[in-house]
Amino acid sequence: MIKVSIVGATGYVGIELMRLLQQHPQVIIKDLISKSNAKKKLVDVYPQFRGSKLENYTLIALEDFQPEDSDLIFSALPHGVSQDISSQLIKSGTKIIDMSGDFRYHDIEIYEKWYGVEHKHPELAKKAVYGLTELNRTQIKNAEFIANPGCYVTASLLGILPLIDSDLVKTESIIIDAKSGVSGAGRSLKSNLLFTECHNTMKAYSPAVHRHSSEIEYILNEFLQGSYDSRSSEQRAEILFTPHLIPIKRGILTTIYLDCKRKSSDSEIFSLYEDFYGQEKFVQVLKDELPEIKNIAGSNFAQLGFKYDQRTDRIIVISVIDNMLKGAAGQAVQNMNVLFGIDEDTGLQATALFP
């Protein structure tokens, strides 16, 4: 059995990790660490865990945590906070999956520019393995420290990678229009996330300057330059990314616009996606329909669909994921399974929560 602990256990991602891991047949949850709720019973903070394996757990403070007693630690802390704590925890020799944005870039200058935070541990960031499972499975198998991707980034990359791998599309003019449920903003109290502020409305935020813009672009360029496979290209990716907040709890729908270099067809494009994801358990490529959030919410599946516009030689890709699962906790558990040589879908077989 794998002994796992969660730092930042009472945030939304921490809750999803607990929900998944308590049902995992090869996992024992050892410690649940929470700064704001230390010494409280878990069920007093989240009553939904009554009757579960976690019913009698008490949340502990970080200073009372013994990381060396765990086989794996999930760090579900915000960026800026995570870098100091994860850099200390890794000294215990325990493997870590970090859920923040602090370790997703080997190029620290990009991180500091987009996050506005000094990175105090660049040596750890440079050795972190990027945790998009479908892209980087081989390195994840042998990793000591995994940086889990952002939720918008996961949805975007899954939709784009097969097309730039095929050299069918122009990489310097990719437009991404993404819409996310409110849980993507985290659990902290913010006036713009109150029910009366976000119900019955929809709004764009941080167009062109959202932090995930840099992560999407950075990973695409690493891929183009051969960091994740044997290819090497002189091309550079440039994306324009606009996120939107929509009045649902969970889920991301990403619409991606790409210009083709030449004429194509629906059958060719479908074949490209099938070849790229044919063996993947959690990526579903739809042929004659477009994805919807309701069909993946509550699951670790990503669904991809597309429309080729012959008139403009553009491809419109629709990618949907649950931001809390494939975009966060589910992908982290998927990476844990890869890391410990377990069947990748263990503990992640749940289908969507529809209706």
- According to the model, what pLDDT value does residue 187 have? 57
Q: Check residue 149 and report its DSSP letter.
A: P
Q: 285-336, pLDDT tens digit by residue? A: 999 899 999 999 999 999 999 999 999 999 999 999 999 999 999 999 999 9
Question: In the CATH hierarchy, which top-level class contains the domain 152-321?
Answer: alpha beta
Domain boundaries, the chain: 2-149+327-339, 152-321
Q: Supply the pTM of this predicted model.
A: 0.95
Annotated catalytic residue, options 33, 97, 125, 151: 151
Q: In sequence order, which residues have a C-beta less than 8 Å from that of residue 189 and are 6 or more positions away?
A: none
Judge contact between 324 and 13, C-beta under 8 A.
yes
Q: Where does 176-265 have alpha helices with state H?
A: 195-198, 211-224
Question: How confident is the model over 130-155, as a mean pLDDT?
Answer: 97
Closest of 79, 95, 77 to residue 35, by C-alpha? 77
**Annotation marks residue 260 as catalytic:** no
User: Residue 121 burial by CB count (10 A; 0-12/13-18/19+): exposed, middle or buried?
Assistant: middle
- According to the model, what pLDDT value does residue 194 have? 65
- According to the model, what pLDDT value does residue 237 have? 95
Task: Report whether pLDDT(337) > 70.
Answer: yes
Angle between helices 151-165 and 266-277 (to 10 degrees): 120
Is beta strand 252-259 parallel, antiparallel or unpaired with respect to 283-285? unpaired
- According to the model, what pLDDT value does residue 350 have? 93
- According to the model, what pLDDT value does residue 305 have? 98
Q: Please, what is the average pLDDT of the chain?
A: 94
Question: Cα–Cα distance between 134 and 162 in angstroms, integer?
Answer: 11
pLDDT band at 136 (very low <50, low <70, confident <90, very high): very high
- According to the model, what pLDDT value does residue 188 have? 58
The mean-pLDDT minimum among 15-29, 172-186, 256-270 falls in 172-186
Amino acid at 39: K
Question: Cα–Cα distance between 177 and 131 in angstroms, integer?
Answer: 23
Q: Which CATH superfamily is domain 2-149+327-339 in?
A: NAD(P)-binding Rossmann-like Domain (3.40.50.720)
Q: 151-196, pLDDT tens digit by residue? A: 999 999 999 999 999 999 999 999 999 999 876 655 555 666 666 6
Same CATH fold assignment for domains 2-149+327-339 and 152-321: no
Buried b vs exposed e over 19-31: b needs ≥16 C-beta within 10 Å?
Answer: bbbbebeebebbb
pLDDT band at 234 (very low <50, low <70, confident <90, very high): confident
- According to the model, what pLDDT value does residue 140 have? 98
pLDDT band at 100 (very low <50, low <70, confident <90, very high): very high
